Amino acid sequence: MSSSISAQALSELNPLPRLLMGPGPINADPRVLRAMSAQLLGQFDPQFRQYMRDTQELYRGVFETANTQTLCIDGTARSAIETVMVSIVEPGDRVLVASFGRFGQLKAEIARRVGADVRVIEAEWGTVFDLARIESEIRAFSPKLLACCQGDTSTTMLQPLAELGALCRRYGVMLQVDATASLCGTPLPVDAWQIDCVTGALQKCLAGPSGIAPITLSDALCETIMRRRHVEEGLRPADYRPGAGRIITSNYFDLAMIIDYWSDRALNHHTEATTMLYAARECARIFLQEGHAAVYARHALASRAIVSALEAMNLRIFGDTSNKMPNVTGVWIPDGVSGDRVRTAMLDEFNIEIGTSFGPLHGRIWRIGAMGYNARRDAVLTTLAALETVLAGEHHRFTRGAGVDAARAVYQAG
C-alpha cells in the first residue's frame, strides 16, 4: 500500500444518514437503491434490451405520451438538455429562451455554445411569463426552438405550460421543456400539452439518484434530428445512407445515434450505464404504481404544510405563491439571522440539508424541498421542528411550536 495515500482516502465509505430537504438531490427511495444493487449486464444481453424497452414503455406512461422516442440519456439532467439542443440546433438557428431563473440561464448558455442565435427574455426572479409576452417575442424573433423550464428550482417558480405547446405549433416553433425539477411533482401531460420535447431527471420528484435523464421527443422533432443522422465509422449498417442535414457536432450527445442505439436496430453507441438504467426503471415503476394523481396530491399537501408552517413561524414565502412549485418552497431569510449558520446547524446537529439559492438570491432565501421519497409527513415535520429549534437559537421572534402545529393541522385536514 502506498504510504502517500491518506488514511481518510482509504477509509470505508460510510456517509451520515442525511435527510435531504433542499432543492434536490433528495434521498432515493430504498426500492431504487435495491434495484441498483442488481448484477450488471451487457447492453446487448437480451435481458437488458428488455429492460430498456420496459423503461421506454414506463416513461411513456410517466410523460403521458405516445412518443416512440422516449428513452434515457446517460448523464445528469443538463446532458439531456444539451443532447436535444446540439442535435436540433444548427449554427445560426434562432433559439428563444424564456428565462425566469438560473436554469433558464443554463439553457441560454448551452444554446450559445451550440452556435445558436440566442434571444433571452427574462421574467423577474420570483415570477413567471404570461403567454402574451412569449407570443409577441415569438412573432418578433421567429425562433426555430423555444426553450424554457417548467419549474426553475433556483426561484421555486412553476411556469404554466398547458397552452404554450399549442402556441408554439401555431407559429411553427419547436418547444423544449426542462422538467428536471418538476417531473412527477406536478402534471405534465406531454401529448395533451403538445410539447415537442421534455427532459427530466431522477434526483428530484422521481426519488432516484442523478446520473441518467429521461427524455421524450415528438415524431416531428425526431424527423429534424434524423435528417442529421451520420453513423460513426465502424458501426455503419450495410444499408447506411447519411442524412442530408449537417452532422451533429457532438458524438456522445448525438441523438440520431442514441435513437439508433435504443431502437431494435441496436446500433452500438456508448456502453449503457446499466445500474442507472435499473434506477430509472424502478423510479418509473414506483411513480406509476402510486399513480399520477396520488403523487401530485402528496407533493401539493407537503407544499401546503410547509408554507403554512413557515408563515406560522413568522417567515415570508418568496415569490409569486400562485405559481410556486409544489415540491420546493423559497422563504426569505429574516433580518438578523445568518442563513448559512442556520443551514450549518441543521446539517451538523440534525443531519438535515436545506438549500439557499444562486446569484441575487444567494444567502437571501432558503429553499426547502419535499419531493419524491421525501415528500412525506414525517420528513416534513422533522425538518420544520429542527428549523424551529435552530431559528429560536438565532433569536428570531415567533411562537415556538407554531410551525409544526400548523403543518400537522394541514396534514390532519388532508
Ligand X SMILES: Cc1ncc(COP(=O)(O)O)c(C=O)c1O
The residue among 101 and 339 lying less far from ligand X, judged by its C-beta, is 101
Q: How far apart are CA 355 and CA 288, in angstroms?
A: 29
The residue among 83 and 308 lying less far from ligand X, judged by its C-beta, is 83
> Rounded to the nearest whole angstrom, what is the least distance from the CB of residue 40 to ligand X in the complex?
23
Q: Is the peptide bond before 25 cis (omega within 30 degrees of 0)?
A: yes
Q: Is residue 153 helix, strand or coil?
A: coil
> Rounded to the nearest whole angstrom, what is the least distance from the CB of residue 178 to ligand X in the complex?
5
> Rounded to the nearest whole angstrom, what is the least distance from the CB of residue 154 to ligand X in the complex?
7
Give one DSSP letter per residue of 56-109, joined into a string: HHHHHHHHT---SEEEEEES-HHHHHHHHHHHHPPTT-EEEEEESSHHHHHHHH
The residue among 210 and 275 lying less far from ligand X, judged by its C-beta, is 210
> Rounded to the nearest whole angstrom, what is the least distance from the CB of residue 104 to ligand X in the complex?
9
Provide the 8-state DSSP code for 210. Answer: S
The residue among 67 and 76 lying less far from ligand X, judged by its C-beta, is 76
Q: Is residue 10 helix, strand or coil?
A: helix
> Rounded to the nearest whole angstrom, what is the least distance from the CB of residue 81 to ligand X in the complex?
6
> Rounded to the nearest whole angstrom, what is the least distance from the CB of residue 106 to ligand X in the complex?
6
Q: How far apart are CA 384 and CA 26, in angstroms?
A: 16
Q: How far apart are CA 1 and CA 13, in angstroms?
A: 18
> Rounded to the nearest whole angstrom, what is the least distance from the CB of residue 203 to ligand X in the complex?
6
The residue among 43 and 76 lying less far from ligand X, judged by its C-beta, is 76
Q: How far apart are CA 398 and CA 309, in angstroms?
A: 11
**b/e 49-78 (16+ beta carbons within 10 angstroms → b):** bebbeebbebbbebbebebbbbbbbbbbbb
The residue among 101 and 403 lying less far from ligand X, judged by its C-beta, is 101
Count of Cβ atoms closer than 10 Å to residue 204 Cβ: 29
> Rounded to the nearest whole angstrom, what is the least distance from the CB of residue 15 to ligand X in the complex?
19
Q: Comparing C-alpha atoms, which of 224, 365, 302, 279 is closest to residue 36? A: 279
Binding site for ligand X (CB under 6 A): 24, 76-78, 103, 106, 149, 152-153, 178, 180-181, 201, 210
Q: Comparing C-alpha atoms, which of 147, 191, 153, 150 is closest to residue 173? A: 147
Q: How far apart are CA 100 and CA 158, in angstroms?
A: 9
> Rounded to the nearest whole angstrom, what is the least distance from the CB of residue 31 to ligand X in the complex?
21
Instruction: Determine contact, residues 330/357, Cβ cutoff 8 Å.
Output: yes
The residue among 183 and 390 lying less far from ligand X, judged by its C-beta, is 183
The residue among 87 and 156 lying less far from ligand X, judged by its C-beta, is 156
The residue among 97 and 345 lying less far from ligand X, judged by its C-beta, is 97
CA angle 187, 198, 274 (to 5 degrees): 105
The residue among 98 and 312 lying less far from ligand X, judged by its C-beta, is 98
> Rounded to the nearest whole angstrom, what is the least distance from the CB of residue 298 to ligand X in the complex?
20
Q: How far apart are CA 75 and CA 73, in angstroms?
A: 6
